[in-house]
Amino acid sequence: MRKEDIIGNLKILDLLEKIARSENLGHAYLFSGPEGVGKKRAALMFARLINCACAGETRCHSCAQMEHLNHPELLLLEDANEPRWIHRDSVIRHLSEFGLKEEDE
């Protein structure tokens, strides 16, 4: 996933690139907006940037794992029952699948 693959929102994408390169990351980022604007694609691009071992110059193993959604640092939380909201209990349930407990958060 490259910035060029996402149409529109260039200011936001540039900001995400700048944040990823600064190594001054926040503990969480919220991607919100109407359906179909590229939130998931932008979030995946950002995740690739902060985990990339090749600085985007080539396609490293980390980039390939991100593209196939099987990177060990990537956890997608999607709630099919309520696609608009991800509830705390849903997050805890997903984390418990990875062996994390609520008090580990």
Give the tens place of pLDDT for each residue, 63-105.
Answer: 888 888 898 888 777 656 655 666 677 767 766 776 666 554 4
Give the tens place of pLDDT for each residue, 35-66.
Answer: 778 888 888 888 888 888 776 566 788 888 88
pTM: 0.67
Contact partners, residue 103, CB within 8 Å, separation at least 6? none
Helix (H) or strand (E) holding 18: helix 10-22
